[in-house]
């Protein structure tokens, strides 16, 4: 269903745009066709001139009154016409950050004809009024939720529309060829071709390459957005909890010489070089008759299956080479890489031992991202480990300037578009008729359009914007 980007409603909506609670200021946002006229009913400027007569993008000092009682002296910022975030008249009251003041101002706006905004309704109006593409609107939510430098940069890039223009350009080129192919259907009896098939094949290859690149970037994008899950594993007393404490620089996990101290998983987040890592300290993996410890071991194995990086701690006093090799090969999965950490090196003199060489020689190279000798207890080479972790994410990321996909909805739409495009390619190879080719082309166009919102429906929009905070 094509979205014509008409205004969502004529209602004037109001909501608190800043976080709830006591603060220096609270920003209360009004948006809608009558927003400025409504604001004039509750807000009086110090110079006595109504906001409706003031220029757009200006700030005015005044008071908000209810039945001659002053609620607050505050600032009103006005945005007229389509020159606002939502694409319709907007007024923002910057009041003192009292919960009572905020409540009274919103109540006053409601009494004068506004209604409470729904979750994400301001951004939804921005989309429906053509100010943002749908994926840009989703990037707004990601920007608000970003908690690291990397996730902030990716969300900002997508909000500024780089991904949007890339998808729209591809869609427009495909749409142009689709129009020519469908035009041929009107002249089917005359056996003419308006669409150059060789040029069309080149276009399909170029679009396919772009889609594959974007799809492949999701692994990095998802990691940047949600954090890299890192499982810390090894036998009991391998130093897993000590390593977690050392990385966090705090006593987060209980450390003891008694084997099997950690019986449940402990998860903590750490930012390294702008990237987020979610460290999971697991129970020591061994055969045990202790029922509770056995549950912890099973949980540890589950975390390994879900991890993107696995930090495996070992040393020659407590492990044989066969044990290490068996563990890595048994627990490797294609979504993860191992970083082998030879721990407790504080008592060793050798830089590297035959023990390490035998392990590295016996494990397939693609299983291992790196190997390092450390002492979690004495903080030896922990900074080097952090550099390796950072390097892992940098290696995942596409080259600078390239688009990174972080949204699962976009990822699924791109996969669906690629599958439909491959059907078009197959049809070209077997010289499928134009009417059947057009069906698969239209399906490709649909999935590409669903990313930017060129194709949308109320259910999709409701699902997306319901995840936003109220006031945005």
Return the higher-pLDDT residue of 148 and 113.
113
pLDDT of residue 6: 44
% of residues, the chain, pLDDT over 90: 32
Average pLDDT over residues 381-405: 80
Residue 5: pLDDT band with limits 50, 70, 90 = very low
**Pairing state of beta strands 90-97 and 23-31?**
antiparallel
The pLDDT tens digits for 226-275 are 888 898 888 888 888 889 888 888 665 444 443 444 445 677 888 888 88
Task: For residue 360, count CB atoms less than 10 angstroms from its CB and return exposed for 0-12, middle for 13-18, buried for 19 or more.
Answer: middle
- Which domains, and CATH codes, for the chain? 13-132 (3.30.1360.120), 139-217+404-452 (1.20.120.430), 231-396 (3.40.50.300)
Q: What is the DSSP letter of 315?
A: -
pLDDT single digits (tens) 337-372:
999 999 988 876 555 567 888 888 889 989 999 999
- Taking 50 as the threshold, does the pLDDT of residue 437 lie above it? yes
* Alpha helices for 33-97 (secondary structure H): 35-42
Return the pLDDT at 422: 92
pLDDT in tens, 159-207: 777 778 888 888 888 888 777 766 655 555 555 555 566 777 888 898 9
Query: What is the model's pTM?
Result: 0.72
Give the CA angle between residues 269, 274, 275 to the nearest 5°.
Answer: 50
Instruction: Report the distance separating Cα 464 and Cα 415, nearest Å.
Output: 19
Q: How confident is the model at residue 1 (pLDDT cuts 50, 70, 90)?
A: very low
Please give the pLDDT value at position 260. 44
Reported confidence tier of residue 35, pLDDT bands at 50, 70, 90? very high
Which pLDDT does position 33 carry in this prediction?
93
Tokens of 357: 């060489």
What is the per-residue pLDDT for 258? 39
d(CA 372, CA 374): 6
pLDDT for 286-329, tens place per residue?
Answer: 444 455 545 555 666 676 777 889 899 998 888 888 888 988 88
- Of 142, 338, 305, the closest CA to residue 221 belongs to 142
Looking at residue 297, what is its pLDDT? Answer: 57
H-state helical runs in 278-407: 291-306, 321-331, 354-362, 382-396
Contact 14, 28 (CB under 8 A): yes
55 backbone φψ class: left, alpha, beta (φ>0; ψ -120 to 50): beta
Structure token digits, residue 62: 């005044």
Between 425 and 460, where is the model more confident? 425
Residue 295: per-residue pLDDT: 57
| SS (HEC) of 215-275 | HHCHHHHHHHHHCEEEEEEECCCCCHHHHHHHHHCCCCCCCCCCCCCCCCCEEEEEEECCE
pLDDT (0 to 100) of residue 261: 45
Pairing of strands 115-116, 43-45: unpaired
| Mean pLDDT, all residues of the chain | 82
The residues near 268 (Cβ < 8 Å, ≥ 6 apart) are 244, 248, 252, 278, 279, 281
User: pLDDT of 66-110, one tens digit each?
Assistant: 888 999 999 999 999 888 999 999 999 999 999 999 999 999 999
Q: Residue 292: exposed, middle, or buried by beta-carbon count in 10 A (0-12, 13-18, 19+)? A: exposed
């Amino acid at each position: 269903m094509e979205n014509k980007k008409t205004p969502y409603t004529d209602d004037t909506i109001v909501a608190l745009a800043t976080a709830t609670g006591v603060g220096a200021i609270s920003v209360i946002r009004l948006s809608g066709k009558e927003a400025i006229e409504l604001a004039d009913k509750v807000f009086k400027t110090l110079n006595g001139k109504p906001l409706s007569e003031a220029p757009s993008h200006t700030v005015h000092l005044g008071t908000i009154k209810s039945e001659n009682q002053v609620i607050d002296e505050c600032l009103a910022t006005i945005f007229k016409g389509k020159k606002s975030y939502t694409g319709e008249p907007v007024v923002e009251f910057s009041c003192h950050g009292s919960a009572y003041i905020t409540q009274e101002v919103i109540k006053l706006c409601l009494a004068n004809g506004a209604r409470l905004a729904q979750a994400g309704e301001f951004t939804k109006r921005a989309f429906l009024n053509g100010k943002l593409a749908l994926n840009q609107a989703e990037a707004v939510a990601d920007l608000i939720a970003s908690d690291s430098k990397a996730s902030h940069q990716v969300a900002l890039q997508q909000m500024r529309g780089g991904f949007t223009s890339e998808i729209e350009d591809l869609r427009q080129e495909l749409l142009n060829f689709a129009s020519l192919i469908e035009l041929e259907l009107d002249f089917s009896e005359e056996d003419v071709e308006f669409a150059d098939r060789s040029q069309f094949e080149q276009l399909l290859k170029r679009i396919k390459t772009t889609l594959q690149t974007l799809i492949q970037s999701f692994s990095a994008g998802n990691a940047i957005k949600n954090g890299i899950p890192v499982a810390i594993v090894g036998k009991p007393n391998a130093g897993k909890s000590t390593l977690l404490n050392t990385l966090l620089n705090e006593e987060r996990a209980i450390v003891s010489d008694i084997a099997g101290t950690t019986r449940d998983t402990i998860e903590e987040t750490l930012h390294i070089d702008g990237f987020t890592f979610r460290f999971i300290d697991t129970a020591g993996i061994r055969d045990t008759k202790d029922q509770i410890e056995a549950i912890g071991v099973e949980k540890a194995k589950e975390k390994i299956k879900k991890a993107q990086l696995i930090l495996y701690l070992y040393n020659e006093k407590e492990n044989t080479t066969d044990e290490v090799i068996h563990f890595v090969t048994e627990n490797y999965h294609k979504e993860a890489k191992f970083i082998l950490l030879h721990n407790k090196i504080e008592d060793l003199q050798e830089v590297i031992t035959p023990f390490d060489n035998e392990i590295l020689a016996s494990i397939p190279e693609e299983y291992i991202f790196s190997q390092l000798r450390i002492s979690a207890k004495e903080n030896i080479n922990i900074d080097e480990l952090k550099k390796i972790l950072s390097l892992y994410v940098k290696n995942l990321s596409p080259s600078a300037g390239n688009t990174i996909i972080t949204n699962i909805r976009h990822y699924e739409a791109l996969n669906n578009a690629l599958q439909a495009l491959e059907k078009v390619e197959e049809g070209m190879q077997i010289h499928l008729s134009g009417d059947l080719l057009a069906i698969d082309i239209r399906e490709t166009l649909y999935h590409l359009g669903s990313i930017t919102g060129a194709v949308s429906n109320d259910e999709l929009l409701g699902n997306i914007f319901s995840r936003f905070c109220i006031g945005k």
